[in-house]
Amino acid sequence: MTTAKADHPGRLARCRGLLDERGLDAVLVTDGHDVRYLSGFRGEDATLVVGAETALIVTDSRFYEQVYEEVADCELVEHRGTDLLQDSVKAAAERLGDGFTLGYQAGAMTHAEFRGLRRAHGGRLRDVRRHVTRLRMVKEPVELEALAAAAALVDLALGVVVGEGLVGRTEAEVAWRLLEEYHARGAEGESFEAIVAAGDHGAQAHAIPGPRRIKAGDLVVIDTGSRVDGYCSDITRTFAAGRVSKAHRKLYDIVLEAQLAGVAAVRHGAHGRDHVDAAARAVIKAAGYGEQFGHGTGHGVGLEVHEAPFLGSLRGDRLEAGMVCTVEPGIYLEGDAGVRIEDTVVVTHDGCERLTQYPKELQVVD
């Protein structure tokens, strides 16, 4: 149970901060996660219109009850027409007059919806997708509680499922058992479809679990997460199914060293690309596997399992205390094996706190 409360007025106030900053009269929020973050509404098919003096939630009759239950700080505008965005713009125009400048979220609407918006709105449109979504980067206590609960649950589930043994089970069976454990322990579900990849299948960073049976001698990559109160967890561990080769053990040690270096680089003020990704990548490069580590070192975790801040070699953000991110370097050897180790951590002033606490030494499981 969470004890802290979500600060929706504070979140709306920060969204209003974008008006001056971006030269807008109002922001039209269409990303469902942002709608939830700013208003508390957990349903779908709703928009928010946030102006200096207004906060409207626009949705249809399926959701009126839910809005009354979940939303305290926005006025309900009943959407009765055929086009939600056009009704949203109309509601904004009734309050702001014509010709106002509207921020919108490109990437959180279809092209057809954008064309409708363009026709409905006489004033200027500015894309502020990134800016709105990035309001979610620094977490409030209530969010940290949910994230910690989701992480504790994934630690537990992983222990139970792996404890049942790996050799002889299929990848899909293991993935399914994780989902069962999430439900049994009170999660809303998984935060993404689990990756369970044995042997050379592990060389695919985002492998889909299949009918393949795990054999003794396989390295098995398991990447999974649960969802609690809307918030995600994300962890990867690589297990040894029975005895694995010396070469694979060595590979594991390199990735572990890289992961520890990445975690050690996380702190308030550090840069996702220049410090965290660089620290993890340097270890893997020095071991001669730079080319076999093709993805970024980490990403933010919150209402979405992948969100800002980013910690990659191509794209990185400055970290601040209260942000939650992953550190997950890996090495992928085509036709041979893969290793990835991932934790979700909270950035603090002098480092970070791990939310996922599953042990990291190579666990040998029969």
Nearer Cβ to Zn ion (71/256) = 256
Stretch that binds Zn ion, among 121-129, 143-151, 245-253, 337-345 (CB under 5 A): 337-345
Name the minimum Å distance from CB 234 to Zn ion: 4
**Gyration radius from the chain CA atoms:** 23
344 near Zn ion, rule: CB under 5 A: no
Stretch that binds Zn ion, among 136-144, 203-211, 229-237, 314-322 (CB under 5 A): 229-237
Stretch that binds Zn ion, among 51-59, 80-88, 106-114, 318-326 (CB under 5 A): 318-326
Name the minimum Å distance from CB 22 to Zn ion: 30
Decide: residue 318, CB within 10 A, 0-12 exposed, 13-18 middle, 19+ buried.
middle
Residue 289 corresponds to which amino acid?
Answer: Y
Name the minimum Å distance from CB 160 to Zn ion: 19
Strand-pair category, 219-224 with 235-241: antiparallel
Find the binding residues for Zn ion in span 139-158 (CB under 5 A).
Answer: none
- Asked if 207 and 195 count as a contact pair (C-beta separation under 8 A), the reply is yes
Count of residues interacting with Zn ion (CB under 5 A): 5
88 near Zn ion, rule: CB under 5 A: no
Find the binding residues for Zn ion in span 1-30 (CB under 5 A).
Answer: none
CA distance 35 to 32: 5
Question: At 295, is the secondary structure helix, strand, or coil?
Answer: coil
**Contact characters 278-317, Zn ion, x per CB under 5 A:** ----------------------------------------
Stretch that binds Zn ion, among 22-30, 141-149, 246-254, 340-348 (CB under 5 A): 340-348
Name the minimum Å distance from CB 268 to Zn ion: 21
The full DSSP string for 112-154 is HHHHHHHHH--S-EEE-HHHHHGGGSBPPHHHHHHHHHHHHHH
Find the binding residues for Zn ion in span 234-263 (CB under 5 A).
Answer: 234, 236
| Token digits of residue 166 | 């790996």
223 near Zn ion, rule: CB under 5 A: yes
Nearer Cβ to Zn ion (145/304) = 304
CA distances from 6 to 11, 32, 38, 143 (A): 9, 17, 9, 8
Tally DSSP H helices, then E strands, for the chain.
10, 20
Nearer Cβ to Zn ion (32/329) = 329
Nearer Cβ to Zn ion (181/342) = 342
Chosen residue from 326, 329, 341, 362 binding Zn ion by CB under 5 A: 326
Biggest CA–CA distance in the chain, Å, is 71
- Asked if 115 and 17 count as a contact pair (C-beta separation under 8 A), the reply is no
Stretch that binds Zn ion, among 44-52, 100-108, 120-128, 232-240 (CB under 5 A): 232-240
Question: At 253, is the secondary structure helix, strand, or coil?
Answer: helix
- Asked if 153 and 233 count as a contact pair (C-beta separation under 8 A), the reply is yes
Name the minimum Å distance from CB 192 to Zn ion: 7
What are the residues binding Zn ion (CB under 5 A)?
223, 234, 236, 326, 342
